[in-house]
Amino acid sequence: MPEPTFADIDELIGPATPHFAYQLRARVRELVLDLPDEHPVRRYAEEKIELLDRLGYASSKAAQSHREPRTRPGWSELPSSAPADDPLPRLR
């Protein structure tokens, strides 16, 4: 297999959802497993692996959208408000 690229990583994580975050995280890890620690693509992949880990505890990626205020009508009926950059706390 050719050496993985930034585009390969982006292609894998682009459609990520909370439901598939851990499966995608495993694929990204496997993709860069043989790269040296200091390789730029591996470092980029590790950043994205952290994002996927947070996404697994979230309700959406919401990377380029604004947050809805809790004062918004209907907020109390929303099923979850945990985006990937502020996921729900992990149960121990």
Global pTM reads 0.68
DSSP lists the bridge partners of residue 39 as none
pLDDT digits (tens, 9 = 90+) for 20-73: 999 999 999 999 999 999 999 999 999 999 999 888 877 666 666 666 677 777
pLDDT confidence tier of residue 74, bands split at 50, 70 and 90: low
CA trace torsion 33, 39, 43, 49 (10° rounding): -20
Element (H, E) at 39: none
Two structure tokens written together for 19: 């439901």
Q: What is the structure's pLDDT at 7?
A: 96
